[in-house]
Chain A
Amino acid sequence: MNRHARTTVHTGVTVLVACTLAHSQPPPTPPTWKQAEDVAYSGQFATAVELLAGRLAEVPGDLKAWADLFLAIRGAAASAQRDQMLTFLARWAEEPHGSMGYAVLGYAQLMAGSEAAARAALKTALDAEVRTSGPALYLKAILHERAGEADAARDTWRAFLTLSDEGPLADAVRQGWVVVNDWKAIGPGFGFTYPTLSPDGRLFLCSAWKKDGVHLVLFDPATGKERILVRAEEGQQLHRPIWSADGRELFYERVIPQKGEWPLRTIMRAPLRDNA
C-alpha cells in the first residue's frame, strides 16, 4: 500500500499520531507527477498509479497528476500489472476519498475490460456524495460514450467542465481527445506493423512479417481471420499500405533492402479486386 494514501485515514487516532510524528520528523512530501512519470517510464505503471493516487489524496487539485493517473492506469491495464493495480485501487477506494476513489477504480476496471464492474463502481461513487465529483462525471461520460449515448455524453462532459475547466483532462474533453476505449486489436506474435483501417473502419491492412517475406495482410479483428492481399516477391518488403477512399485500390511502399545502403523504395498502386 502507498504510504501517502495511508496518512489520509481521517480518524482521530490517526490524526493524533500524525501530529505527534510531525514533531519528531517532517511529514513525507507527496510524490510529484514528475516522480511518477519517471517510474512509469521504467515500465512500472502500477507503481506509478500508487504514487499518483497518493499524490492526489494529498493534493486533489493537482490537474497534471490527474491526467497522468489516467495514463498510468491505461498503461497498467494493458500490461501484466493489471491485477496489481486493481488490487491496490480496490483497497484505496475503500479509504475515505469520497466518490473520487470509486471513480478512479471504475475507470481502471473499464480500461481492464470490465464494464459491469465499472458501472458498479460508478454507482458507489455517485452514492458516496450528494454533489457529483469531477472524477465520477469523467467516468460517467466515458460510459455514455461507450454506450453510444451521444446526448448524455455531451451533457455529462459539460457538467464535468463546470467542475473542472482547467488542466490536461479539461483540454482533452474540449478537443475530443479523451480515451474512452483502449484495446488490443492484434496480439503480439503476429508480426503485424504499419496498420491501416479500411474505409468502412472494420478491417486492418498491415505489413506482415512472415517466413517467406513481408506481405500485405488483411486482418479482421472480429473473427481473427487473416489473408495475404498482396504477396511480396523474393527480396522485397511491402510497407505502409493505405486504402483509396472507395476501398478499391491500395497504395503502398515496396522496399528492396540494399546491403549497407539506403533501401530502394517505390510507391506502388494496386487494384484491390485483382489481389483479393
Chain B
Amino acid sequence: MAPSLTGSGSPFLTADGKTLCFEGNEGQVWTLPVAGGEPTLRLETGPAFHFFRSASPSLTCDGKYLILSGIAPQGGAVARVRTDDPAKPDLIAFTEKRLFAWGTLSPDERTYATSIGTKEGEGFWDLCAVDVQEQTKPQQLAWGRPQWNYRPVWSPDGRKIAYVGRNVDVRVLTLGGLPQPSLALVVAPTDKGATATLTCTGKEATTVTATYQLFDAASAEVASGALTAQPVPLKPGEVVEFALPTGAAAARTMKATVVAQTGERAIALATIPAP
C-alpha cells in the first residue's frame, strides 16, 4: 500500500531530521525515511478517535509515538498514539466544549504547541502548550491571537514559537522559565572559536553524544561533525565543555546538539561574531 501522490500533505520532520511524517487525504498518517525507502502506514482513521481531516501529525525521533490533535467522542483532544498499537491512543489533553487545532511537537519532544478554540473556523483561538509526557491542563500562551488553521512551529532550539496571528501577521513568542531537563547546554563564542558547555542537571547519571553544525548567512549548512568520538558519561552536576570549530569562513551561526541515552536532546544556537 502506498500513499496517494495527490492526497498527501502536512509534512513534519522528526527533530533528528531523519524521518518525514505526513498525512493522507482521509486522515491516515504515513512515515518515510528521508534517506530513502518505502512509506509506512502508521495510522488509519478509526472510530475511536476521529482526527481532524488534516491532523498535522508529529512523530518522535524513536518512531514510537505520533502526537496528534483531533476530536474524541466527547470533545477535543490531543493524543499520543503508539505506532505499534494505534488503536489505544492516550489522550494527553482533553476539552469538552472546545477544540484543538493543528499543532507541532517541540524539538525536545516535551511540549506540543497548538491552538484551542471554540469552533472550527470561528471565534477566538488561544495558543497553548500541552505537556506530552504528563496529563496536565494545557497552558495558554497567547489569548485570542492565532489563526486556527495554521499550525504553530518551533525554533530549532525549542525556545521560540512562531505562529500566524489573527491579522495574518507572523508573531514569535520566546519562552523561559525553569524546566527540569537533565541537560543544560549553552554555546558561547570565545577568542578562538566557541565553546559548548553542557551541564548534567538531572538526578541520574547518563551518557551523551554531541554534534555541531555551522550555517552561512543563507542558513545553509557549511560544516558539521561530531564533538564526541564516543558516548561521554556524565554524572549529576557534572559540567563538560566542548570546543566548537568555526573554521569555515562563511559560517555565521553555530548550533550544538547533545543527545542523552534516554533520547533527551539539548540544542543551543549562537551567532558567530563578524571577523
Residues of A within 8 A of B (CB): 40-41, 43, 45, 67, 71-72, 74-75, 78, 141-142, 145-146, 150, 153-154, 157-158, 161, 168, 171-188, 190-204, 206, 239-240, 242-248, 251-253, 255-256, 262, 264-267, 272-273, 276
Contacts and interface: CB of A to CB of B under 8 A. Distances in A.
Nearest to B5: A266
B167 interface: yes
Given A182-B174, A187-B169, A266-B6, 5 more contacts: A71-B142, A184-B165, A195-B150, A195-B162, A200-B219
A251 B156 contact: no
Nearest to A207: B150
Given A206-B170, A267-B9, A247 B25 contact: no
Contacts of A191: 168
Contact of A183 (B143, B154, B172): B172
A179 B11 contact: no
B10 to A, nearest CB: 6
Nearest to A171: B139
Interface size on B, as a range, is 35 or more
A223 to B, nearest CB: 11
A240 B10 contact: yes
Contacts of B10: 240, 253
At the interface, is chain A mostly helix, strand, loop or mixed?
mixed
Contacts of A188: 165, 167-169
Interface stretch (B16-24, B69-77, B230-238): B16-24
Contact of B131 (A45, A72, A175, A247): A175
B25 A201 contact: no
Given A75-B145, A204-B170, A253-B10, A176 B179 contact: yes
A265 B145 contact: no
A199 B143 contact: no
A171 B136 contact: yes
Contacts of A171: 136-137, 139
Interface of B is mostly: strand
Nearest to B172: A185
Contacts of B224: 246
B8 A266 contact: yes
Residue among A45, A78, A146, A248 having the largest count of chain B Cβ atoms under 10 Å: A78
A161 B213 contact: no
Contacts of A192: 164, 168, 170
B129 A177 contact: yes
Given A193-B168, A265-B6, A180 B174 contact: yes
B162 A71 contact: no
Nearest to A194: B150
16 contacts: A71-B143, A177-B139, A182-B173, A185-B171, A186-B169, A192-B168, A198-B215, A198-B219, A199-B221, A201-B156, A243-B219, A246-B213, A247-B219, A264-B7, A267-B8, A267-B11
A202 B219 contact: yes
Nearest to A73: B143
Most buried by A among B131, B167, B220, B269: B220
Residue of B111, B137, B176, B224 with highest tally of chain A CB at under 10 A: B176
Closest 4 CB pairs of A and B: A245-B17, A176-B179, A198-B219, A200-B253
Contacts of B144: 40-41, 43, 45, 75
Interface string B149-187: 010011111001011110111111111111110000010
B52 interface: no
Contact of A195 (B142, B153, B156, B175): B153
Contact of A158 (B7, B13, B169, B178): B178
Given A150-B186, A204-B170, A178 B7 contact: no
A71 B218 CA distance: 35
Contact of B143 (A74, A145, A176, A248): A74
Contact of A74 (B25, B137, B142): B142
A51 B123 CA distance: 22
B176 A175 contact: no
